[in-house]
Amino acid sequence: MTTTDTVSAAAPPADPPPQPQVLTTRDGTPLKVSLARALRREKMRALLLIAPLLLFIVLTFAAPIADMLFRSVENGIVANTLPKTVEALADWDETSGEAPGEPVFAALHADLLIAAEEKTHTRLGSRLNYESSGMSSLFRKTGRRADRMDDALPYKAQFIDIDDDWGDVATWQVLKRFSPELTSGYFLNAVDMQMTTDGVELKPENERIYLFLFARTLFLSLTIMACCLLLGYPIAYLLAALPARTSNLLMILVLLPFWTSLLVRTSAWKVLLQQQGVINDFLVWTGLVSDAGRLVMINNQTGTIIAMTHILLPFMILPLYSVMKTISPSYVRAAKSLGATDWTAFWRVYFPQTVPGIGAGSILVFILSIGYYITPELVGGTSGIFISNRIAYHISSSLNWGLAAALGVLLLAAVLLLFYVYDKIVGIDNVKLG
């Protein structure tokens, strides 16, 4: 069957309204369908080829991150540990100014008996302690004595007998406020705010820290990025301009610190920069500074900026170099032969061609530095630490993973936002790694 046959069969000459011509393959399926089928098969084959990698990335990268991010709102622990109490508390008016009545305490007793058996009450205590100090020992203490309570007497009095805090409205307000399965508490905490009975408000001044640290992280990261660019640009230019033999040697000098352990490099900066260190000793020896006036260059922001600029410099030089390498020297020569000065030739002809390299290097350095924590921890003192140091603290010391996750989400959002702004201003397709 040929195409012409089909056409004549589908639209007999006697029928005047001309049907749109449907092209078909030899077995009669329309060409469009058949083509789509072939394409789908092609796509399936491609998908199958990358399936192992895709699966690997989803399982080992995307899923754990998603899980960690979900912790920033997850709060099932209260309702899971004290199900009856949460239910009974629903009727209690938290603005009444009085602790709930006997039914709530009876429910609490029943819940605590099970919780103490499974040893989950102390875990709940440490969760609630993030919101209100004293919850940890309150639950530990009460759980220990829950099974010794007298069922014949009112529970409320017995609970208050164990600890006065059970008669305190504030305790119950916290419990009620954090009983839903999802909470905004961690996020509020991450932006120095808190939930109270009157709604959301800023924390007292002496507890605000995270917004300040976010701002400082951004500021220091931008400074480090700028320093890397200022120092890296001439080096990259030199590497690209020199003959291969010399530039290879220089390239090794750039890469050598890159291959040295991060801790070794950071410690080396300590030895150099500290007040009894090499640089200060030299300055005192030359008489430029007095022995009493030794410069403070470490355990502050200066230390962080210097050490991190050094550590991240290769990430700026390498993309710059690979872009500059592709720029033909004849452009600048042509500009000069047409009468441009050295500066005009550089600024109007050479520099615009290096912008993709600058973009790539800057993004690399900025994103790496925004999440850095070991170098600031070691050389940053108190004024040079980043938000990532607090995230690390909440992951490994305070075990407040919810807050750590919320801080992480905010950091990620900030990076994505900046990425978007960069795309709008410079254009992301303008980034080149080589």
Residues that bind other proteins (CB under 8 A): 118-120, 122-123, 125-126, 129-130, 133-137, 140, 206-209, 212-213, 274-277, 299, 377, 381-383, 385, 390, 395-400
Q: In the complex, what is the shortest distance from the CB of residue 70 to other proteins, in angstroms, rounded to a whole number? A: 13
CB-nearer residue toward other proteins: 102 or 207: 207
CB-nearer residue toward other proteins: 244 or 292: 292
Look up residue 181 and give its two tokens. Answer: 């399965």
CB-nearer residue toward other proteins: 360 or 379: 379
Q: In the complex, what is the shortest distance from the CB of residue 267 to other proteins, in angstroms, rounded to a whole number? A: 9
CB-nearer residue toward other proteins: 32 or 140: 140
| CA 391/CA 69 separation, integer angstroms | 13
Q: In the complex, what is the shortest distance from the CB of residue 411 to other proteins, in angstroms, rounded to a whole number? A: 17
Beta-carbon count within 10 A of 210 CB: 21
Q: In the complex, what is the shortest distance from the CB of residue 204 to other proteins, in angstroms, rounded to a whole number? A: 9
CB-nearer residue toward other proteins: 350 or 393: 393
Q: In the complex, what is the shortest distance from the CB of residue 184 to other proteins, in angstroms, rounded to a whole number? A: 18
Q: Using CA of residue 162, residue 165, residue 171, residue 172, what is the dihedral sign?
A: positive
CB-nearer residue toward other proteins: 82 or 229: 82
CA angle (280, 281, 283) in 5-degree steps: 60
H-helix or E-strand spanning residue 289: none
Q: In the complex, what is the shortest distance from the CB of residue 51 to other proteins, in angstroms, rounded to a whole number? A: 25
H-helix or E-strand spanning residue 276: none
Look up residue 129 and give its two tokens. Answer: 């302690």
DSSP secondary structure code for residue 347 in this structure: I
CB-nearer residue toward other proteins: 275 or 341: 275
Partner residues linked to 30 by β-bridges: 24
Q: Using CA of residue 416, residue 418, residue 423, residue 424, what is the dihedral sign?
A: positive
Contact residues for 7 (Cβ-Cβ < 8 A; gap 6+):
21
Q: Are 358 and 345 in contact (CB under 8 A)?
A: no
Q: In the complex, what is the shortest distance from the CB of residue 325 to other proteins, in angstroms, rounded to a whole number? A: 42
CB-nearer residue toward other proteins: 39 or 215: 215
Beta-carbon count within 10 A of 27 CB: 7
| CA 167/CA 115 separation, integer angstroms | 21
| CA 327/CA 304 separation, integer angstroms | 34
- Listing DSSP states for 41-69 in one string gives HHHHHHHHHHHHHHHHHIIIIIHHHHHHH
Q: In the complex, what is the shortest distance from the CB of residue 216 to other proteins, in angstroms, rounded to a whole number? A: 8
Side chain identity at residue 300, one-letter code: N
Beta-carbon count within 10 A of 375 CB: 23
Q: In the complex, what is the shortest distance from the CB of residue 211 to other proteins, in angstroms, rounded to a whole number? A: 11
Closest CA to 266 of 233, 227, 298, 220: 298
CB-nearer residue toward other proteins: 130 or 233: 130
| CA 416/CA 144 separation, integer angstroms | 48
Side chain identity at residue 415, one-letter code: V
